[in-house]
Amino acid sequence: MAQKTVSQAAKPGLGVDAELAKRLFRDMALIRRFEEKAAEAYALGKIGGFLHLSIGEEAVAAGVTSALRPDDYAISTYREHGHCLVKGSDPRRVMAELFGRIDGLSKGKGGSMHLFDKSTNFLGGHAIVGAHLPLAAGVGFKIKYEEGDQVIVCYFGDGAVPEGEFHEALNLSALWKLPVIWLCENNRYAMGTSLERALAQPEIWKFGQTYGIPSEAVDGMDVLAMREASVRAVERARREKIPSLIEARTYRFRGHSMRDPAGAVYRTKEEVEREKLRDPIVLFRDRAMKAGLITEEDVKRIEKDINDLVDEAVAFADASPEPPLEELYTDIFKENA
């Protein structure tokens, strides 16, 4: 099952119809625009704490999510705005959460790193590196326990791979045959530590082989390649109840967080500029237009819709009240039914 080369989408006509092409473009554009606006709001002091942007990595979230059913689960890291948005959360409520307001997904109590949405089966942004991988295995366990046919996709970064929990969770998922898609967003830097400085085996997909898990490396800047690999992994999980590991080779154009705006200490400007030439949104837009799936008018319309939607999200967040002080002491324990 494992492939030695990086998978590229190769089907003629791109293998998608116009409707799906528009959705993929729209989803990526939404993440990009949302995060650009979030960065602005951060600069204005509207958003505090840590804010981790996934600009440059949008093809992963969009491609993977397009392979999921609405009732499938997703769980993620603290760089999860995109995963949450394309899973179907209301951008207004996501932005309100970033603003720390009562209309946020978590009533303002989670923030950028802790987005949860039960209505879309989005199981959270988790901010201890590696810690949510066992949780994902647990959701796979639950699906199997109840003999369901859902799957869970678990996003994590290359920084989670040296953590013990990565290995514990992969082992358990393979041992117990759980329907989990392990989705490593390899953006080559764990904060400021490059892959080569962190892993004795920098080919991350190979760790899946160790546990007998179908594994492949995919061009994470290619939304169609991400989608195709995800469709294969979802199919295996849904029908055969087995996990897969996808190593999405991607790149974040921004720094680790807003406190590392340029990410300039640990990587060269030349490298960043070179990677920006692989902008997943531009690449896909051009390919889809060339294939006649999207017109220039479509692009303009989608971009305008997205801009309006995100502007509305910002306005909504800004107008939403702070959580009342009583919220400090709610949701610590659930009242027993």
Partner 1 sequence: MAVMTYREALNLALREEMTRDPRVFVMGEEVGLYEGAYKVTQGLLKDFGPKRVVDTPIAESGFTGVGIGAAMTGLRPVVEMMTFNFALLALDQIVNSAAKLLYMSGGQYNVPIVIRGPGGPAHQLAAQHSQSMESYFYHVPGLKVVRPSTPMDAKGLLKSAIRDDNPVIFIESETLYNVKGEVSDDPDFIIPLGQAVVRREGTDVTVIAYMGMMYRAMEAAEDLSKDGISVEIVDPRTLRPMDTETIIGSVRKTHRAVVVEAGAGFAGMGSEIAAFITEQAFDDLDAPVERVTGASAPMPYAKNLEKAKTPTKDRIVDAIRRVCYANGG
- Restricted to residues 167-196, the positions that interact with partner 1 (CB under 8 A) are 168-169, 171-172, 175
Q: Does 25 bind partner 1 (CB under 8 A)?
A: no
Q: Does 141 bind partner 1 (CB under 8 A)?
A: yes
* Minimum CB–partner distance for residue 336 and partner 1 (Å): 5
Q: Does 33 bind partner 1 (CB under 8 A)?
A: no
- Restricted to residues 273-312, the positions that interact with partner 1 (CB under 8 A) are none
* Minimum CB–partner distance for residue 49 and partner 1 (Å): 13
Q: Which of 23, 46, 109, 238 binds partner 1 (CB under 8 A)?
A: 109
- Contact range with partner 1 by CB under 8 A, out of 33-41, 130-138, 239-247, 263-271: 130-138
Q: Which of 23, 46, 114, 267 binds partner 1 (CB under 8 A)?
A: 114
Q: Does 149 bind partner 1 (CB under 8 A)?
A: no
Q: Does 72 bind partner 1 (CB under 8 A)?
A: no
CB of 146 closer than 8 Å to CB of 186: no
CB of 106 closer than 8 Å to CB of 115: yes
- Contact range with partner 1 by CB under 8 A, out of 83-91, 99-107, 193-201, 218-226: 99-107
Nearer to partner 1, 9 or 115 (CB): 115
> With contacts defined by CB under 8 A, how many residues of the chain interact with partner 1?
46
* Minimum CB–partner distance for residue 164 and partner 1 (Å): 7
Site string for partner 1, 192-231 (x = CB under 8 A): ----------------------------------------
Q: Which residues bind partner 1 (CB under 8 A)?
A: 73, 75, 104-110, 114, 116-118, 123-124, 126, 128, 131-142, 145-146, 164-165, 168-169, 171-172, 175, 330-337
